[in-house]
Structure 1
């Protein structure tokens, strides 16, 4: 019996498959560390938080724009010219809202990347979070970022250097 789910038009060697897979993945996904570094270096993209108003109000990545997925099709073409690049996120790795938003943007002809880990990892890695009371930073959760070696227990914004 032929396994039709395993049939592809991709290269047949395992290394060629790996190269194709990881190139595609890196072209379409990023992470909080890279997004933060890119924003600090003036990269030209719009960071979109796709969550609900309640979630946005609770806290969001500093510099993000609030645009729930359901509004993308109507609002993005009116607000952003062709060629605008986007990075999108939702709650966490357990949520596919960012994937849905990236798909909606791609269907409109825009370049979009998913920020792996979503808002959860943005906050857990110590990057700035905007709230109703101002911008705050959490200590880096040592399960998602390296500890500092100085007097403080953690330093927001340090990279895993990977």
Structure 2
């Protein structure tokens, strides 16, 4: 079965989210849990505020049993050149969680001007990326 272009783009939006969409959803109080799939050391250095650190290498059914499977989980990593977010999303989806991947990861989050937390935290600049238009 060949997927149409329309079906492709609809499916793509079911599985990924950009930083503007995530920022807006969090500000609107949507029930989203942001998951950093990188190592604890990388998370400690810098991460998206209020993100949970669940390194993909340690994901097991037991390590996720405290999570609510009815929520949406958005996974991220460093960004381009890193696939920890994909590995985290795959493992969580395999275990029955609803997951989306943050395209561009932490790198694009920062490029869009959003605040980070951690030892190397950056103050947000509130840039208008133009995604709303």
Given the alignment of the two structures, is residue 136 of structure 1 paired with residue 122 of structure 2, yes or no?
A: yes
TM-score by length of 2: 0.89
* Number of positions where the alignment pairs a residue of Structure 1 with one of Structure 2: 131
Once the two structures are superposed, residues 81-106 of structure 1 have per-residue CA deviations (whole angstroms, 9 ceiling, x without a partner) of 33222000011122111111111011
The structure 2 residue matched to 1:64, chosen from 43, 51, 60, is 51
Map residues 109-148 of structure 1 onto 2, 5 A cutoff: 109-132=96-119, 136-138=122-124
Decide whether the 8 Å contact of 2:77 with 2:106 is kept in 1: yes
Once the two structures are superposed, residues 61-116 of structure 1 have per-residue CA deviations (whole angstroms, 9 ceiling, x without a partner) of 0121111112232311x211332220000111221111111110110011000000
Larger Rg belongs to:
1
Given the alignment of the two structures, is residue 158 of structure 1 paired with residue 97 of structure 2, yes or no?
A: no
The structure 1 residue matched to 2:63, chosen from 59, 75, 78, is 75
Moved over 4 A (4+): none
Please state whether the residue corresponding to 1:75 is helix, strand or coil: coil
Following the alignment from structure 1 to structure 2, what is the Cα–Cα distance between the partners of residues 53 and 82?
23
Unaligned stretches of 5+ residues in structure 2 = none
- Structure 1 residue 157 displacement after superposition: 4.7
Following the alignment from structure 1 to structure 2, what is the Cα–Cα distance between the partners of residues 32 and 75?
27
Please state whether the residue corresponding to 1:47 is helix, strand or coil: strand
Following the alignment from structure 2 to structure 1, what is the Cα–Cα distance between the partners of residues 68 and 51?
18
The structure 2 residue matched to 1:107, chosen from 89, 94, 108, is 94
